[in-house]
Amino acid sequence: MDAPTRPPHVNQRRSQRILLSVSIVISGERAHGTAFSERTSTVIVNAHGALIRLREPVLVGQLLRVKNLLTNEEKPCKVADVNAGYAPIPEIGIAFSESCPHFWRVSFPPEDWSPHNAEAKRVQPKNESDPVPLKR
């Protein structure tokens, strides 16, 4: 019996992730109904949400609001993942209810982008024997 094949998109993310620190405010309600608001920043962003560090305890599925302090724009979101791990401040995955690629004010690559694509720019040395320069 042959193993079922997976569609090629199963292991792909919905959008490109970018390491980016954006100052934000996360607000919501605690389980007992009191409001909270915490200033923090993103660790990773994408068109569908972000990975943040948040001291306030939250639960997967909890509804929140995220405010981009650079633009003062706000969007509703929900907690997609909680990873307390070994870090002093837990990492929280937040997801927008719909794709918001402009919320972080960065340009994301198109959905079909790949570094293996023939159109991807490659750094070429001037001479074959010259090393490829590293950017720091």
- Domains of the chain (ranges plus CATH)? 18-96 (2.30.110.10)
Give tens-digit pLDDT for 5-52: 544 444 445 568 899 999 999 999 998 999 999 999 999 999 999 999
Integer Cα distance of 9 and 15 in angstroms: 12
Do the bridges between strand 23-29 and strand 18-19 make them parallel or antiparallel, or are there none, so unpaired?
unpaired
Residue 39 · residue 4 · CB < 8 Å: no
Give tens-digit pLDDT for 70-119: 999 999 999 999 998 888 899 999 999 999 989 999 876 666 666 666 65
